[in-house]
Structure 1
Amino acid sequence: MKNPLDSAALNAAIEDVHRAGLPGLFAEVRDGEQVWRGAAGVADVATGRPVTVDMRHRVGSITKTFTAAAVLQQVEAGRGLDTPIGRYLPGLVPGERGDAITVRMLINHTSGLAEYFPYAYPSFKAFPALADTGPQSLEDHRFTRFDPAELIEMGLTAPAAGAPGGTPGAYSNTNYLILVRLLEQVTGTTAERYITRNVIERAGLRDTAFPAGPNVDGPHSKLYEAWFGMIDPPRDYSVYDMSWVGPAASLISTVADLNRFYGVLLAGEIVSPSSLAQMQRTVPVVTQEGKRGDYGLGLYPMEGPGQGTFWGHGGTVWGAGALAMTRADGKRQMAVAVNMQRWNKLDSSGKPQPHPIDDALAALYRVAMYG
Structure 2
Amino acid sequence: MAALSLFAGTASAAPASPPTASGPAQLQSALDGVHRAGVPGVFAEVRDAGRTWRGASGVADIGTGRPVRPDMRQRVGSITKTFTAAAIMQQVEQGRIRLDAPIGDHLPQLVPGERGRKITVRMLLNHTSGLPDYIRYAFPSLQEMSPKSLDDNRFRRFRPAELIGMGVDAPAASEPGATPGAYSNTNYLLLGELLEQVTGVPAEEYIARNVIERAGLRHTGFPTGPRIEGPHSRMYEALWGLLDPPRDYSVYDMSWTGTGAALVSTMDDLNLFYGELLAGKIVSRSSLAQMQRTVAVVALDGSTIEYGLGLHKVATEGCGTFWGHDGTVWGAGTISLTRDDGRRRMSVAVNLQRWNGPDSSGEPRHHPVDDALKAFSRRAMCGDAGAGAGPAGGAGEVSTG
| TM interval, short-chain normalised | over 0.9
User: 61-70 or 83-92: which moved more?
Assistant: 83-92
The answer for the alignment partner of 2:99 in structure 1 is: 81
Q: How does 1:54-203 map to 2 (within 5 A)?
A: 54-78=71-95, 79-125=97-143, 132-203=144-215
Mapped partners of 2:50, 2:180: distance in 1: 39
Indicate if the aligned counterparts of 1:91 and 1:98 stay in contact, CA closer than 8 A.
no
Residue 315 of structure 2 aligns to a residue whose secondary structure is strand
The answer for the alignment partner of 2:325 in structure 1 is: 313
The answer for the alignment partner of 1:244 in structure 2 is: 256
The residue type equivalent to 1:102 in the other structure is: T
Residue 123 of structure 1 aligns to a residue whose secondary structure is helix
Among 361, 369, 377, the residue aligned to 1:349? 361
Indicate the percent of aligned positions where both proteins have the same amino acid. 66
The answer for the alignment partner of 1:300 in structure 2 is: 312
The residue type equivalent to 2:311 in the other structure is: L
Q: CA RMSD in A?
A: 1.0
The residue type equivalent to 1:52 in the other structure is: R
Q: List structure 1 segments (4+ residues) > 6 angstroms apart after TM superposition.
A: none
Cα 1:5–1:268 change in 2 (3 A) is farther
Q: Does 1:23 align with 2:35?
A: no
How big is the shift at 1:3?
A: 4.9
Task: Give unpaired runs (5+ residues) of structure 1.
Answer: 126-131
The answer for the alignment partner of 2:391 in structure 1 is: none
The residue type equivalent to 1:89 in the other structure is: L
Mapped partners of 2:194, 2:45: distance in 1: 34
Indicate if the aligned counterparts of 1:5 and 1:34 stay in contact, CA closer than 8 A.
no
1:23-69 Cα deviation digits (max 9, x unpaired): 00100000012111000000000110000001011000000000000
How big is the shift at 1:259?
A: 0.2
The answer for the alignment partner of 1:129 in structure 2 is: none
The answer for the alignment partner of 1:34 in structure 2 is: 51
The answer for the alignment partner of 1:288 in structure 2 is: 300
The residue type equivalent to 1:363 in the other structure is: A
Mapped partners of 2:295, 2:50: distance in 1: 34
Mapped partners of 1:150, 1:321: distance in 2: 26
Task: Give unpaired runs (5+ residues) of structure 2.
Answer: 1-18, 384-401
Indicate if the aligned counterparts of 1:5 and 1:36 stay in contact, CA closer than 8 A.
no
The answer for the alignment partner of 2:244 in structure 1 is: 232
How big is the shift at 1:348?
A: 3.4
Mapped partners of 1:4, 1:248: distance in 2: 37
Give the structure-1-normalised TM-score. Answer: 0.97
Mapped partners of 2:25, 2:173: distance in 1: 46
The residue type equivalent to 2:193 in the other structure is: R
Q: Does 1:262 align with 2:292?
A: no
Mapped partners of 1:38, 1:227: distance in 2: 27
The residue type equivalent to 1:110 in the other structure is: T
The residue type equivalent to 1:57 in the other structure is: Q
How big is the shift at 1:5?
A: 5.0
Mapped partners of 1:153, 1:34: distance in 2: 47
Q: How does 1:322-361 map to 2 (within 5 A)?
A: 322-361=334-373
How big is the shift at 1:307?
A: 1.5
The residue type equivalent to 2:137 in the other structure is: Y
The answer for the alignment partner of 1:217 in structure 2 is: 229
Q: Does 1:11 align with 2:28?
A: yes
The residue type equivalent to 2:377 in the other structure is: Y
How big is the shift at 1:327?
A: 0.2
Mapped partners of 2:181, 2:20: distance in 1: 35
How big is the shift at 1:350?
A: 2.7
Cα 1:112–1:233 change in 2 (3 A) is same
Cα 1:50–1:155 change in 2 (3 A) is same
Indicate if the aligned counterparts of 2:306 and 2:314 stay in contact, CA closer than 8 A.
no
How big is the shift at 1:124?
A: 1.2
The answer for the alignment partner of 1:128 in structure 2 is: none
Aligned length: 364
1:247-293 Cα deviation digits (max 9, x unpaired): 11000000000000000000000000010011100000011111111
The answer for the alignment partner of 2:65 in structure 1 is: 48
How big is the shift at 1:91?
A: 3.0
1:136-173 Cα deviation digits (max 9, x unpaired): 11111110111111111110010000000000100000
1:107-132 Cα deviation digits (max 9, x unpaired): 0000000111111111012xxxxxx4
Indicate if the aligned counterparts of 2:145 and 2:242 stay in contact, CA closer than 8 A.
no
User: 300-309 or 327-336: which moved more?
Assistant: 300-309
Mapped partners of 1:356, 1:90: distance in 2: 47
Mapped partners of 1:13, 1:97: distance in 2: 48
